[in-house]
Amino acid sequence: MAAIVSVENLRKVYDSGFEALKGVDLEIREGEILALLGPNGAGKTTLISTICGITRPTSGRVTVAGHDVVTDYRASRRLIGLVPQEITLEPFTKVMVAARFTRGLFGKAPDDAYIERLLRQLSLWDKREAMTKELSGGMKRRVLIAKALAHQPRILFLDEPTAGVDVDLRKSMWEVVEALRADGVTIILTTHYIEEAEAIADRIAVINGGRILLVEEKDRLMRRMGRKELTIELQCPIDAIPETLAAFELVRGEDGQTLTYSYDRAAERTGIVTLLSALSEAGLVLRDLQTRQNSLEDIFVGLVREEA
Ligand SMILES: Nc1ncnc2c1ncn2[C@@H]1O[C@H](COP(=O)(O)OP(=O)(O)OP(=O)(O)O)[C@@H](O)[C@H]1O
């Protein structure tokens, strides 16, 4: 897949002297869903704002479909829809009017049939004549999405789109994202709900302290870093792990009745068979066994902690 957004050695130093981006390189592929994960203050919003041409880079270069976001701002911005983290809406503007107006801002010819389809897809059609101040927080968020999509952008940035949104609405938002992907729209999202990123993203980028730590296909990342845990429940509690089992680096539960073994699920030999016979040789009787797969959240927390 070709890159639609290309970020080269991007640095951003704010007027305060704070360096929020420290040489970021990133290629966003056309048609993909890229989840940008990072702890608070990592630089996600700064990166997105710079790609969208809202924040000026200190050095480095960003192009969107070949257009430089600084020297060719209008052409690049027209291709982008941005759903900001903060809710910024004119309180007295009606939903339909807001969507139509935003489309006009980007120089697109009016297309009420498209706006209607969009509002229906976002379950806002019934509210089209309502003023934005009369809407709930979740509905306001959907209006932001409608406004971001009103000019039919090829790239959509969603900065924390589901913050403060209830479970049902979150689900319906992800359905909208899936439908956009099916239409070929490239989607970049930041979210603190890592399990959502795990479910929906094609690739994961992790940013911390203004640096990209990794960019990788989600499935590869899960295979590469996804460790598995085997929890062994014993028939009787033990005070200490027998010496003969030291090599397995087991962790004894507080009750003395469970032992946890971590292994690399990608490895050819997991060591489980050897472990089980060593347990039996040590005279331990098993009551139950359970396995658990590392989630993207575990991987993320591990990566960011390693950096700290
Ligand atoms: N206008 C500004 N002036 C000075 N520093 C800023 C400015 N905007 C952001 N920063 C700083 O830059 C760093 C990155 O902020 P940014 O908003 O990009 O992080 P983020 O990853 O989006 O965080 P969050 O998950 O909390 O939204 C933070 O330390 C922040 O305090």
Whether the per-residue pLDDT at 298 is higher than 70: the answer is: yes
Cα 228 to ligand 1 centroid, rounded to whole Å: 35
For ligand 1, say whether the CB of 45 is within 6 Å of any of its atoms.
Answer: yes
Domain boundaries, the chain: 3-222, 227-294
| CA atoms of 206 and 208, how far apart (whole Å) | 7
Mean pLDDT of the 88-98 span: 87
Which percentage of the chain shows pLDDT scores above 70? 97
Determine the pLDDT at residue 185: 94
pLDDT bracket for residue 268 (50, 70, 90): low
203 contacts 32 by C-beta, under 8 angstroms: yes
Average predicted confidence (pLDDT) for the chain: 88
Whether 95 is in the pocket of ligand 1, judged by its Cβ within 6 Å, is no
Highest mean pLDDT among 1-5, 200-204, 216-220: 200-204
Which of 196-200, 231-235, 286-290 is predicted with the least confidence, judged by mean pLDDT?
A: 196-200
Sign of the C-alpha dihedral computed for residues 56, 59, 60 and 61 taken in this order: positive
More reliable by pLDDT, 80 or 289? 80
Instruction: List alpha helices for the chain, DSSP H.
Output: 44-51, 73-78, 95-105, 112-121, 137-149, 167-182, 194-200, 218-225, 272-281, 296-307
ipTM of the complex in this document: 0.96
Give yes or no for residue 44 CB within 6 A of ligand 1: yes
The CA distance from 133 to 90, in Å, is 8
Nearest CA to ligand 1 atom 28: 41
What the block records as the tokens of 98 is: 């807001």
| Percent helix, percent strand, percent coil in the chain, to nearest 5 | 35, 30, 35
Q: Write the CB contacts of 262 (distance below 8 Å, at least 6 apart in sequence).
A: 227, 228, 229, 230, 249
Q: What is the DSSP letter of 125?
A: G
Q: Is 43 in the pocket of ligand 1 (CB under 6 A)?
A: yes
Please say if the pLDDT value at position 294 is more than 90. Answer: no
Closest atom, ligand 1, to C-alpha of 160: 27
Q: Is the pLDDT of residue 266 over 70?
A: no
- Averaged pLDDT, 152-165: 86
pLDDT band at 307 (very low <50, low <70, confident <90, very high): low
How sure is the predictor about 262, in pLDDT bands with cuts at 50, 70 and 90? confident
The helix-helix angle for 137-149 and 95-105 (nearest 10°) equals: 30
Closest CA to 35 of 241, 139, 174: 174
| Cβ-Cβ contacts under 8 Å for 61 (sequence gap 6 or more) | 6, 7, 8, 9, 10, 68
Q: Which fold has domain 3-222?
A: Rossmann fold (3.40.50)
| Span from the CA of 143 to the centroid of ligand 1 (angstroms) | 25
Question: Over 90: is that where the pLDDT of 122 sits?
Answer: no
Which helix (H) or strand (E) is 230 found in, with range? strand 227-234
Q: Does domain 227-294 fall into CATH 3.40.1260.10?
A: no
Residue 279 amino acid letter = L
- Mutation pick for ligand 1 pocket among 14, 22, 48, 162 (CB with most ligand atoms within 8 Å): 14
User: Which residues neighbour 44 within 8 Å (Cβ) at sequence distance 6 or greater?
Assistant: 36, 38, 159, 190, 207
- pLDDT tens for each residue of 21-57: 999 999 999 999 999 998 888 999 999 999 999 999 9
| 62 CA distance to ligand 1 middle (Å) | 19
276 vs 161 pLDDT, higher one? 276
- Supply the residue whose CA is at minimum distance from atom 1 of ligand 1: 14
